[in-house]
């Protein structure tokens, strides 16, 4: 699978809690082929890595069928990743089997390819910057609201990763000092009010105290059918429980977005992820709360938009991540050569 350092396609993989999505992608963002496999098809532990390697092998075979050289491999994962080591942190809630795994070196050794690995929302932020609405901007933030709430930051044209890979964790900004508990050990995090599982948990808690005929109809009496799309349907119908949960989620997200505005002063903040597919029922109050909590002049210069990328945005993110790391590597080599020539 030896990669071509100067040309060719990128093998891109988005690692999710239930599925691995992979694609063969042209540098302009055209997805030439795409495949999805279960994350834990063979159970836990090394099964995740085996599935990942099989997917990469299949993608490499696709590239070979297209008679295209492979430039390298980009991988986005739902957790913090050490920039220097390529090692996944211990706080990878959805795929604990990968905690502390030196994924970059494992994949490089197995494939012979040049590999870039980073947090999946960092990768999504880069996808928006390279292929989406943020092209040409210097200061961009990404907020992904799905199973969790993650963030990515590009400031002065560079991805901000932080000392341990935890930069941009907007989901764990505290918005209620004595609020709902979060898996991170804190309370009142943005995630605790806005992530998909937390939205469902809040609906169930409120329905125990306040039964609703709307919910009884939508779920056919089965609470196990409650999910975020159903929540927004119920809110559209004026259900008080749904409206209360959506209002709290929007306020928490708005406060988190305002914190990004006040701290980083970006030109654009992009909200994406499955929960944000609800559209304006959530976006409008998020914008309103962000304006309420943030400095007026700062938020006035920030566009708060919903992602326009396709559902294959994770694959585009892994592609953009590889291309970004490749560009930064060339920059470092150029600086080193210039210094050596002095």
Cα–Cα nearest to 131, from 25, 4, 275, 279: 25
Cβ–Cβ < 8 Å for 47, 20? no
CA atoms of 182 and 144, how far apart (whole Å) = 17
Question: Which SS3 state, helix, strand or coil, does residue 10 take?
Answer: strand
Does this model's pTM top 0.85? My answer is yes
9-120: CATH topology is Nucleotidyltransferase; domain 5 (3.30.420)
- Chunked into runs of 10 residues, the chain (342 residues) has average pLDDT values of 70 92 97 91 70 95 96 95 91 84 95 96 97 97 95 97 91 96 95 97 94 93 94 96 98 98 97 95 98 97 95 95 93 64 54
What pLDDT score was predicted for residue 123?
97
Cα–Cα nearest to 125, from 292, 282, 262, 264: 264
Backbone angles phi, psi at 13, to 5 degrees: -130, 130
**In the chain, ranges of CATH 3.30.420.40 domains:** 9-120, 133-306
What pLDDT score was predicted for residue 308?
93
List, in sequence order, every residue forming a beta bridge with 36; answer none if it has no partner: 21
Task: Please give the helix or strand (H or E) that residue 71 lies within, else none.
Answer: strand 70-77
The 3-state secondary structure of 40-59, one letter per residue: CCCCCCHHHHHHHHHHHHHH
CA atoms of 13 and 35, how far apart (whole Å) = 9
Contacts of 279 (CB under 8 A, 6+ apart): 306
Q: What is the CATH number of domain 133-306?
A: 3.30.420.40
Cβ–Cβ < 8 Å for 290, 254? yes
The sign of the torsion formed by the CA atoms of 321, 85, 195, 138 equals negative
């Amino acid at each position: 699978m030896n990669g071509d350092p100067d040309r060719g396609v990128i093998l891109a993989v988005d690692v999710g809690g239930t599925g691995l999505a992979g694609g063969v992608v042209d540098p302009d963002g055209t997805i030439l082929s795409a495949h999805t496999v279960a994350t834990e098809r063979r159970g836990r532990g090394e099964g995740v890595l085996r599935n990942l390697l099989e997917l990469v092998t299949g993608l490499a075979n696709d590239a070979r069928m297209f008679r295209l050289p492979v430039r390298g491999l980009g991988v986005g994962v739902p957790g913090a990743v050490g920039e220097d080591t390529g090692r996944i942190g211990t706080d990878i809630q959805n795929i604990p089997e990968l905690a502390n795994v030196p994924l970059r070196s494992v994949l490089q050794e197995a494939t012979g390819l040049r590999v870039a690995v980073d947090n999946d929302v960092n990768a999504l932020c880069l996808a928006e910057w390279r292929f989406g609405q943020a092209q040409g901007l210097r200061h961009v933030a990404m907020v992904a609201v799905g199973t969790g709430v993650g963030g990515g930051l590009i400031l002065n044209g560079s991805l901000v990763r932080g000392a341990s890979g935890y930069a941009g964790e907007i989901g764990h900004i505290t918005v209620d000092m004595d609020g709902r508990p979060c898996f991170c050990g804190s309370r009142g995090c943005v995630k605790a009010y806005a992530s998909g599982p937390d939205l469902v948990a809040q609906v169930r808690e409120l329905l125990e105290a306040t039964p609703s005929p709307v919910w009884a109809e939508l779920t056919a009496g089965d609470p196990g059918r409650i999910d975020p799309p159903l929540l927004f349907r119920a809110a559209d119908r004026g259900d008080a429980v749904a409206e209360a949960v959506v209002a709290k989620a929007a306020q928490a997200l708005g406060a988190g977005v305002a914190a990004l505005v006040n701290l980083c002063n970006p030109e654009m903040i992009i909200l994406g992820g499955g929960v944000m597919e609800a559209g304006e029922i959530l976006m409008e109050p998020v914008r309103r709360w962000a304006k309420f909590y943030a400095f007026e002049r700062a938020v006035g210069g920030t566009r708060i938009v919903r992602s326009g990328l396709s559902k294959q945005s994770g694959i585009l993110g892994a592609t953009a991540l590889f291309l970004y790391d490749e560009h930064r590597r060339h920059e470092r080599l150029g600086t080193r050569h210039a210094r050596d020539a002095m």
